Amino acid sequence: MSPKGGAFAMPVNVVILAAGQGRRMHSDLPKVLHPIAGKAMLAHVLDTARGLGAGRICVVYGHGGERVREAAAAADIAWAKQEPQLGTGHAVLQALPCLDSRAPTLVLYGDVPLIRVATLGRLLERSAEGSALALLTVELADPRGYGRIVRVGGRVACIVEEKDASEEQRAIREINTGILVAPAGALERWLPKLSNANAQSEYYLTDIVALAAAEGLPVHSAHPDAAWEVQGINSKSQLAELERVQQRNIAEALLEHGVTLADPARIDVRGELSCGRDVAIDVGCVFEGRVDLRDGASVGPHCLLKDVTVAAGARIHAFCHLEGATVGAKSVIGPYARLRPGAALAEDVHIGNFVEVKNSTIAAHSKANHLAYVGDADIGSRVNVGAGTITCNYDGANKHRTIVEDDVFIGSDTQLVAPVTVGRGATLGAGTTLTRDAPPEQLTISRPKQLTVPGWKRPVKHKKG
């Protein structure tokens, strides 16, 4: 397998341990379902397993039970329940019936979400096509809490958990990440032999190292490029720490791609963000779902974009909220604008401050620059939607559409009571409440006659007492 990733030369079993309760998370949500960059930790690990070209994937679950299965359900996943939870060795034992005994087995963890395909590729290579045991280890400045790698003559002899380690062993800085590759057939021999005679009364997967050494089976090791790849999550503090690591990774990738970020430390991508050339993103922006920013698009500070396509040269000004929308080329949105699902804007459309668009199409060169609501409407080209204009699309039970044809001018403070059509080139006077179709090329207006009442006096507040 290439160190850069890709499918292994032969099918690989992948066992993902995801049965832990996560008490320190202080949450009803199963630990492995807490999100990193908008995606559950377990989903990250599953994607990595698929990136390796795994032949079989088995998830060992326990706490959270059906919630975990429902959240990660997929045709390529087998499930093994661990109940009660008696340690990592016991967990892998539950997965054995799901595995191909002829293939090497890679053990991953549902709460170690940032492990990379390239790192696992090196580990698989070190396993010599799955014929040897290979461990992923890392050196830490502070190894407290981790099992130590004990070497004899430079070779891995065993792994000692911290609670069982001597003072000399606790001084070792090389630690076990828990991630390993072992021949599946060997696991079938070793796992039933494990003992729980230790400080935690658990069956440690790490004890297979000593069993392998006793059989004369080679034990190799590989190392990640960065310690954060193998960092597990057991608390909200650790979750927040890895969230920032992942966001920095995403920011670095965007910068390498040529995206201009005003501050790489102040961007949150919680889904898939693709960017063309000369894209600029200001501070405090959040991207969720799938967002596509085409060439020359710019996003101002403190915007949220979810499942949005922004065409070339469009500008999103500050404090805008866009969801399920399409923004046409060279359009200008905001500041303080909201595009809701179904908003489809063509080229050179202007949506200004405090304007909301929902389930509507707006054709090229039209504008709604101030304080308007456009819902369930089809707006033609070169239309001016005046300040304070709203489409009255809901009758209390059903939604109705408003049709505004090309070259219409809608005066300020107009209500369009759907279903209604405004003909091509029509003008609606300010303050109009339109309840019937407006004919093309004509002025339509509905206002009460202006009156002045002679001698009228404004009420005066009476003094108390």
**What residues are labeled active site?**
370
Q: What is the DSSP string of 23-79?
A: GGG-SSS-GGGSEETTEEHHHHHHHHHHHTT-SEEEEEEBTBHHHHHHHH--TTEEE
Amino acid at 74: A
Phi, psi (degrees; rounded to nearest 5) at 154: 85, -10
Tally of helices (H runs) and strands (E runs) in the chain: 8, 38
Query: Quick one: how far is CA 432 from the chain centroid?
Result: 45
C-alpha to C-alpha distance for 34 and 13, rounded to whole angstroms: 25
In the DSSP assignment, the letter for residue 188 is H
Amino acid at 45: V
| Length of the chain, in residues | 465
Angle at 165 between CA 21 and CA 241, to 5 degrees: 45
CB 216 within 8 A of CB 131: no
C-alpha to C-alpha distance for 81 and 117, rounded to whole angstroms: 26
Q: Could you tell me which residues are beta bridge partners of residue 270? A: 288
State which H helix or E strand residue 307 sits in.
Answer: strand 304-310
**For residue 424, what are the CA distances in angstroms to 274, 409, 440, 441?**
38, 10, 5, 6
State which H helix or E strand residue 308 sits in.
Answer: strand 304-310
Is 205 in a helix, a strand, or coil? helix
- Tell me how crowded residue 2 is: count the other CB atoms within 10 A of its CB: 12
Alpha helices in 358-410 (DSSP H): none
What count of Cα atoms within 13 Å lies in the side-chain half-sphere of residue 429? 7
